[in-house]
């Protein structure tokens, strides 16, 4: 789920009762498309326009929206629609400017006249518009093998109508988990920050890794064809990035043809293996400009304490720890994983995630093996409500799954 990316896309589909008339051109059939653009009451909107892209030809048109109405003729085909505006609202006497947007993908334009459902613009304040689309943590173990590592992966999409750059994009795993509740922790940072156990960044100088609209990048542990050694795994040889950890006593595998993520911080001295029990959270976002790994570990260290209590054993004492955190405003998207029968809490703010997705029970005999958390798609757009319970579903893992038939 996310905190600062698209908080809700307009559900655009063919209206229930379309008025269809014949419209033919000597060369190409065309259709007049009509729609209403709805601006949230708290905003004034200017420069309202719709960008429509023919997915078959790649041709893009920009349509000026007048008086909240779209009325434009397009060649028949399959289109992506993005309606954008510059929004303003007054908060505590100050004028805040934020972008507004509504997205719909895979709209079939045909029939002469097409009336579509309203576009409801939503705020994109602080959004990066990258979203986590799929998380795969563990494959089915081969016969006679008790553990298999290296094939964990993350699929991240550009959920916008603009080309974005992945340079500097960070991916992290949380230090805290959902099955061990810290009580009476001090200071209480839940509504402000998240403790991280591993934090990596995509390399680049700013525009080295363009990601086209509705395209994705694949990040994994070891970028190789894992089916060679584990037929139940998947081929990750075409991954865009892998993480590689230089450690003592435990050898990581580095595929030289694939770029490595840059390490910002890692709590463990061993290789980072995302928690295969599925009881942590994963997020993406960007560090502030000029934030180096050295600066991060200097400025974002925090001493905290919590109450460790096991009444049945007569244990009740305060524990002191040191952790590294990222402020919530750095987080652009997030997913919480937790086995439902062992879930005791969400350690993040409700604005980050109000739910969780369960990949399966804890233990070797669990059905979680070979499963992934995949973001739902509805009306041609990703579902993103800041609630992993409703935004994600558990599916058979597929790092190359086609979300939009592309």
pLDDT digits (tens, 9 = 90+) for 159-198: 877 899 999 999 999 999 999 888 888 999 888 899 999 9
pLDDT tens-digit profile of 68-119?
Answer: 999 999 999 998 888 888 888 876 676 777 778 777 767 899 999 998 878 8
The two tokens of residue 192 are 């402000």
Domains and CATH numbers, the chain: 30-123 (2.60.40.10), 130-396 (no CATH)
Query: Which range is most confident: 26-30, 81-85, 378-382, 399-403?
Result: 399-403
Residue partners of 46: CB distance under 8 A and separation at least 6: 85, 86, 88
Up-side HSE of residue 11: CA atoms within 13 Å toward CB? 6
Residue partners of 365: CB distance under 8 A and separation at least 6: none
pLDDT of residue 6: 29
Is the pLDDT confidence value at 200 over 80? Answer: yes
Closest CA to 342 of 280, 274, 273: 280
Is the pLDDT confidence value at 16 over 80? Answer: no
pLDDT of residue 249: 65
Closest CA to 260 of 281, 236, 246, 241: 241
Residue scoring higher pLDDT (382 or 134): 134
pTM flag (> 0.85): no
Is the pLDDT confidence value at 9 over 50? Answer: no
pLDDT of residue 295: 94
- Give residue 124's pLDDT band: very low, low, confident or very high (50, 70, 90): low
* Dist CA 207 CA 164 (whole Å): 9
Using CA atoms, how far residue 183 sits from 305, 310, 325, 353, in Å, is 9, 12, 18, 19
Residue scoring higher pLDDT (378 or 389): 389
CA 315 from centre of chain: 40
The DSSP element (H or E) to which 390 belongs, if any, is helix 388-391
pLDDT tens-digit profile of 272-319?
Answer: 999 999 999 999 999 988 899 999 999 999 999 999 877 788 888 899
Lowest mean pLDDT among 144-148, 171-175, 356-360: 144-148
* Dist CA 107 CA 388 (whole Å): 26
- The whole-chain average pLDDT of the chain stands at 85
Reduce the DSSP state of residue 5 to 3 states and report it: coil
Is the pLDDT confidence value at 23 over 60? Answer: no
Share of residues in the chain with pLDDT > 70 (%) = 88
């Amino acid at each position: 789920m996310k905190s600062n990316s698209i908080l809700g896309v307009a559900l655009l589909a063919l209206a229930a009762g379309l008025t269809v008339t014949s419209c033919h051109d000597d060369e190409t059939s065309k259709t007049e498309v009509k729609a209403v653009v709805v601006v949230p009451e708290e905003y004034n909107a200017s420069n309202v326009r719709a960008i429509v892209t023919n997915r078959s030809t790649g041709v893009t048109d920009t349509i000026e929206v007048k008086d909240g109405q779209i009325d434009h003729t397009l060649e028949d085909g399959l289109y992506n629609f993005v309606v954008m505006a510059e929004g303003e609202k007054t908060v505590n006497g100050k004028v805040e400017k934020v972008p507004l947007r509504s997205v719909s993908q895979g709209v079939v334009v045909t029939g002469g006249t097409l009336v579509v459902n309203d576009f409801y613009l939503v705020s994109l304040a602080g959004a990066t518009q990258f979203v986590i689309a799929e998380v795969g943590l563990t494959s089915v173990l081969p016969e006679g093998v008790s553990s298999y590592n290296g094939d964990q992966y993350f699929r991240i999409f550009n959920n916008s109508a603009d080309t974005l750059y992945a340079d500097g994009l960070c991916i992290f795993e949380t230090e805290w988990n959902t099955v061990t509740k810290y009580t009476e922790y001090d200071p209480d940072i839940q509504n402000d920050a998240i403790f991280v156990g591993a934090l990596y960044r995509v390399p680049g100088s700013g525009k080295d890794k363009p990601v086209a609209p509705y395209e994705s990048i694949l990040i994994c542990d070891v970028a190789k064809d894992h089916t060679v050694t584990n037929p139940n795994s998947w081929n990750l040889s075409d991954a865009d990035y892998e993480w590689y950890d230089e450690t003592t006593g435990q050898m990581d595998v580095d595929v030289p043809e694939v770029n490595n993520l840059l390490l910002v911080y890692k709590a463990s001295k061993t290789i980072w293996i995302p928690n295969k029990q599925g009881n942590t959270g994963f997020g993406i976002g960007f560090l502030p400009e000029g934030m180096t790994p050295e600066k991060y570990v200097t400025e974002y260290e925090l001493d905290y304490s919590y109450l460790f209590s096991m009444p049945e054993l007569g244990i009740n004492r305060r524990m002191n720890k040191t952790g590294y955190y990222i402020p919530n405003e750095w987080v652009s998207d997030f997913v919480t994983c937790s086995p439902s029968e062992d879930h005791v809490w969400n350690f993040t703010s409700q604005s980050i995630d109000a739910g969780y997705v369960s990949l399966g029970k804890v233990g070797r005999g669990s059905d979680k093996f070979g499963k992934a958390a995949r973001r739902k798609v509805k009306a041609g757009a990703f579902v993103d409500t800041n609630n992993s319970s409703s935004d994600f579903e558990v599916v058979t893992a597929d790092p190359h799954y086609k979300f939009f038939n592309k």
